[in-house]
Amino acid sequence: MRSATTPGVQTLVLPSNLGPTAGTASNRSICSGDTVGTYAAGFAYAVSGAAYPFSTSQTPAISGANGQADITTSAATTSTYP
């Protein structure tokens, strides 16, 4: 998970060899022709603060600096890796 402190477009880099390991060799993360799904969610509060082990409440209070719990999501997209 990545934390961004400025709003707007963010860039994430997927390392090229996060695929399954066969013996000592790592395989490509995404191979040519693979379908890739992308989705993003943003939170205007400390999202991990409402989760275990930081909170054990079944109904934790979640709020940001402005007293609200704002969440934003992107549209889900798919593409085919070249």
Backbone φ and ψ for 47, nearest 5 degrees, come out as: -60, -35
Q: What is the CA radius of gyration of the chain?
A: 18
Whether pTM exceeds 0.85: no
Measured CA to CA, the distance from residue 27 to residue 30 in angstroms comes to 9
Per-residue pLDDT tens for 9-43? Answer: 778 888 888 888 888 888 888 888 999 998 888 87
* Residue 1 confidence (pLDDT) above 70: no
Per-residue pLDDT tens for 67-77? Answer: 777 788 889 99
pLDDT of residue 79: 92
The domain ranges of the chain are: 41-82
pLDDT of residue 4: 55
Single-letter residue type at 4 = A
